[in-house]
Amino acid sequence: MTSKPLSLYLHIPFCASKCPYCDFYSGRYPAETRAAYLAALTEEIRTFRRAAAFVPEGLSDRPLSSVYFGGGTPSVLGAAALTSVLTAVRARFSLLPDAEITMEANPSLPEPEAFFAALAKAGVNRVSLGLQSAVEQERRKLGRRAGKPQITRCVAAAKAAGIRDVSLDVMLGVPSQTRESLLETLDFALSQQPTHLSCYLLSLEPGTPFDKMRDRLDLPDEDAAADLYLLTCGMLKARGMRHYEVSNFCFGDRIGRHNMTYWTDGDYLGLGPGAHSYLAGRRFYQPPDLDGFLNGVPVCDEGPGGDAEERLMLRLRTDLGAPASAFPGREALLKELERNGLITTDGGTVRLTDRGFLVSNRVIGELL
Amino acid sequence: MKQKKTHIRNFCIIAHIDHGKSTLADRLLELTDSVSKREMQQQVLDNMDIEKERGITIKARAVTLNYEAADGETYELNLIDTPGHVDFNYEVSRSLAACDGAVLIVDATQGVEAQTLGNTYLALDHDLELVPVINKIDLPAADPDRVCADVEEIIGLDCSEAPRISAKTGENVPAVLESIVKNIPCPEGDDDAPLRALVFDSVYDNYKGVIVYVRVMDGTLKAGDTMKMMATGAKYTVVEVGRMRALTLEPCEELHAGEVGYITASIKSVVDARVGDTVTKVENEALSPLPGYKKVNPMVFCGVYPADGADYEALREALEKLQLNDASLSFEPETSGALGFGFRCGFLGLLHLEIIQERLEREYDLDLVTTVPSVVYKIYLNDGSMVEISNPTNYPDPGTIQYSEEPVTDAHIYSPPEYVGVIMDLCQERRGTFKNMDYISKDRVDIHYILPLNEIIYDFFDALKSRTRGYGSFDYELKGYERSNLVKLDVLLNGDLIDALSFIIHADKAYPRARKIAEKLKDNIPRQMFEIPVQIAIGGKVIARETIKAMRKDVLAKCYGGDITRKKKLLEKQKEGKKRMRRFGTVEVPQEAFMAVLKLDDDK
């Protein structure tokens, strides 16, 4: 097979409840709406009707290297529905033998054993669970109900079902977080023996409840939040993890390959409201509007993608880095950045350090 | 039609700022039907936006009014408006020289103020007949009797018949016109003598070229004559002569001795028709020019740079256009290591500087960075030579300097006696030398100080106003140069000298000022990628130091669902933001930081 592999993202815009910091497109909807959505998404997989203007001919002849169910909370749909979506995917595309199939799941699942067994059977081989914090008080402020016992049960269930990769999400810089409480969370996360951790610094997104009450949140200040990030990087690396992207860590080679597609200029098709795509040098997205999607509203153009600047900007988020030769005329700046510990240039490859990642917007902006 | 000289009155209105000069001018225009109610905008004579906002008149204008007096005769009243700020003293003096009398407005609530006196003395210097008018009698706090007594006592002017008016409501304003006709003498002059016409203003017009405003002292002038500017020697063929009406120019056959009017002659720049120059005719040339001409020299200089280097040419064009109308604005190209290409501009004073800066930003839509204003210092070198320095960048190596001189002013501060203490404190802080103090009336003192010019150009007036709760006023003129102990302060960011922030200062003030500037820069420069030392140095010696901490966190943690566009937009926004910053090596300095360095007196 010669054609370039493709990654597929499927957005499930449903949640059992909305977390106060989240600005992703999702909400609570009745069962009929969820059923209608399932039908529309399956139809879109079959026809690419909404994305037709941007889908090149022969797209479905390309094999999938990854499928990612994100949300929202895909697990809200239940195993049977998700299995049916995967069936539709397999009907349209072939999957590479080692294709990564990820399911985001909320640890407050009622029957994780049955759920993960069914998903494993359908081919899901990677699970991403939202832990956020192991500390009860922090979790409550984040609106996350499921705690340590549920996480432990889910991780065990996923592993028992034969799901190879388990990733946990942890949030940094959340209200009331201290070095000690963060270490407690990280210790707990590692005790679950995940293959992967995503550790995201909290950002206050406009319009979210967190944004509106920002002054009352007891948030760590810039310096404290930066220290929490550095603490995380230091600890996880000491435990043998690879820090392969700004917010992502893995053991061995267990990187999240789907996400890596984004950083390495790979093609991806995103289906569902709010999903973004990058195909044949063009970026487009489905408007974040469930009704619109149900009614067949087409995708929107976001212009060309994949130019040199964009590729560098994305690669510099990873430990792949970028060749120093990609920054002609920036030699003095590179030296200064290196002297100040924001980048390394070993072997002629520019890589951001942990401190560099922390100010990566600025560093990348300077370099480009 | 030629007006009999006996029926001409040439006058101006003088007043302290805000005493109602422009409002009275409006009323006079209305009363003489020079503008209809419909055409009446607020303060027709001040037609620049900035003037309206600041309530001050920047450029002189003149207007001819026809007035039918109580005696049944029609008089030609030439009202010459004068600038009302110390920055424009010379222009004021030329306007006064074009007049035979002056209406002196005094605010019935405030009485005699610094510029009331300053302008009165100027008017007396020009032998003008003064017509006092007490204004703002409609205000509850008005006390016209006391103010009349004040004027009689301080100025020695009989106020028994002074019209008491409200220019705002129009009450009793006709009495002002009658008083002008009755008390101001008609012009003298000989139509048959060689032409001598005083240029008291000139403005550039896109169609006619420069319009020269003149008061004809002797002789006559008409279209087709060959005129000559006596100071510059330039000759032109007169295209048109006429009178200024409130809203239009009205051509006429000929201008005669005693009259006020305009001349156009395809003159390309106001620099060629300088205020104070004398116009004569090549045929039958006057033997000598009218007295009083001087080329005004800028007193305050600063670098003006486009915030975006790409706007350099646009800035040049804008300055050229402004200069067409402003002979006292000077500029020449300058390069700064920190700011790139820009211009060294010279101004009459800080107000003039602010006006130009504002006009450049408003009328020409330019974003500017200006450097610290400086006066002109005289630096005497060991080799016996002298250099004049207005740009700190050119300050000589201290080792080569024998001594320095700085410009000083004769400054008069007028205030109620209770503020004498705070005024003296202020003047002392500003390195003033006390000369004397006069009680000009029982509740008014005149405090006379010698003050260095560089101590008053930034914010002296604001400081005076705030410390005297608005009661203090002040007036100054350049006295000359005095020996001084000067040093140049340099600002280093991350070890790099930022030439645009250097300035020259008296040695006694260097240390406190250096500390303050270091603090201000630290507070006004946002965190950068690296820790940035801020150092203030004299020569190579650092005398103050602060550190701008490194930025710790600026990261998009998550690019959700492949939404790269968000990250790209962030990058774009960052690039936009950069444009509003000045980069020095890797340090980005927002414009506010430059401004902050200039403001000295704001920590109270």
Structure tokens at A111: 């029957």
The whole-number average pLDDT for the span B16-32 is: 85
Q: Residue B349's pLDDT is what? A: 81
Q: Are B269 and B86 in contact (CB under 8 A)?
A: no
Give CA angle at A310 (A305, A312), nearest 5°.
145
Residue B220 has pLDDT above 60, yes or no: yes
For residue B536, the cross-strand partners are B491, B544
Structure tokens at B304: 């003006």
Task: Enumerate residues 153 to 172 of chain A having a beta carbon within 8 A of any beta carbon in chain B.
Answer: none
Residue B604 has pLDDT above 60, yes or no: no
Q: Residue B54's pLDDT is what? A: 44
Q: How far apart are CA B329 and CA B343, in angstroms?
A: 12
Query: What percent of chain B lies above the pLDDT cut of 70?
Result: 90
In Å, how far are B91, B228, B325 from B205, measured between CA atoms?
20, 20, 9
Strand order in the sheet with B340-347: B330-336, B340-347, B300-306, B368-370
Q: How far is B481 from chain A (nearest CA, A)?
A: 47
Q: What is the largest CA-CA distance in chain B?
A: 92
Residues in chain A: 368
Cβ neighbours of B396 (radius 10 Å) = 15
Name the residue among B16, B58, B31, B557 with its Cα closest to residue B356.
Answer: B58
Q: How far apart are CA A240 and CA A250, in angstroms?
A: 9
Structure tokens at B78: 């030439």
pLDDT in tens, B350-407: 778 888 988 898 888 898 888 888 899 999 999 999 999 988 989 998 889 999 999 9
End-to-end CA distance of chain A: 36
Q: Read off the DSSP letter of residue B199.
A: E
Q: How far is A342 from chain B (nearest CA, A)?
A: 9
> pLDDT under 50 in chain A at which residues?
1
Give CA angle at B37 (B32, B42), nearest 5°.
95
Best of A360, A367, A368 to substitute, by most chain B Cβ atoms within 10 angstroms, is A360
Cβ neighbours of A246 (radius 10 Å) = 25
B60 confidence band (pLDDT: 50, 70, 90): very low
Least CB–CB distance from A222: residue in B552, B574, B586: B552
Structure tokens at A27: 């909400």
The whole-number average pLDDT for the span B28-38 is: 77
Contacts of B586 in chain A (CB under 8 A): 333, 336, 366
Q: DSSP 3-state assignment of B333?
A: strand
Q: Residue B148's pLDDT is what? A: 94
> Cα-flanking dihedrals φ and ψ of residue B210, to 5°?
-70, 135
pLDDT in tens, A287-329: 999 999 999 999 999 989 888 888 999 999 999 999 999 999 8
* Cβ-based neighbours of B103, under 8 Å, separated by 6 or more: B11, B12, B13, B14, B24, B131, B133, B176, B179, B180
Q: Are B179 and B67 in contact (CB under 8 A)?
A: no
Q: Read off the DSSP letter of residue B112.
A: S
Domain extent listing, chain A: 6-263, 307-368
pLDDT in tens, B530-578: 889 999 999 889 999 999 998 888 888 887 667 887 777 777 777 666 6
Helices (H), A208-251: 209-212, 222-238
Q: Residue B84's pLDDT is what? A: 59
Cβ within 8 Å, pair A262-B567: no
| A227 to chain B: closest CA residue | B552
Residue B44 has pLDDT above 80, yes or no: no
Q: How far is B335 from chain A (nearest CA, A)?
A: 23
Q: Residue B440's pLDDT is what? A: 76
Residue B51 has pLDDT above 60, yes or no: no
Structure tokens at B509: 């003030």
Amino acid at B146: R
Residue B87 has pLDDT above 80, yes or no: no
Record the pTM.
0.64
* Cβ-based neighbours of B559, under 8 Å, separated by 6 or more: A262, A317, B566, B567
CATH superfamily of A6-263: Aldolase class I (3.20.20.70)
Structure tokens at B211: 């319009």
A197 contact B CB<8A: no
Average pLDDT, chain B: 86
Q: How far apart are CA B442 and CA B154, in angstroms?
A: 10
Least CB–CB distance from B553: residue in A70, A226, A317: A226
pLDDT in tens, B135-191: 999 999 999 999 999 899 888 889 999 999 999 999 999 999 999 999 999 999 999
Q: How far is B496 from chain A (nearest CA, A)?
A: 14
Q: Residue B2's pLDDT is what? A: 64
CATH of A307-368, one of 3.40.50, 3.30.70, 1.20.58, 1.10.10: 1.10.10
Q: Residue B585's pLDDT is what? A: 66
Instruction: Answer with the residue of higher pLDDT: B486 or B590.
Output: B486
pLDDT in tens, B126-136: 889 999 999 99
Lowest-confidence segment of B452-456, B458-462, B478-482 by average pLDDT: B458-462
Query: What percent of chain B lies above the pLDDT cut of 90?
Result: 48
Q: Residue B38's pLDDT is what? A: 59
Residue B294 has pLDDT above 60, yes or no: yes
Q: How far apart are CA B340 and CA B332, in angstroms?
A: 14
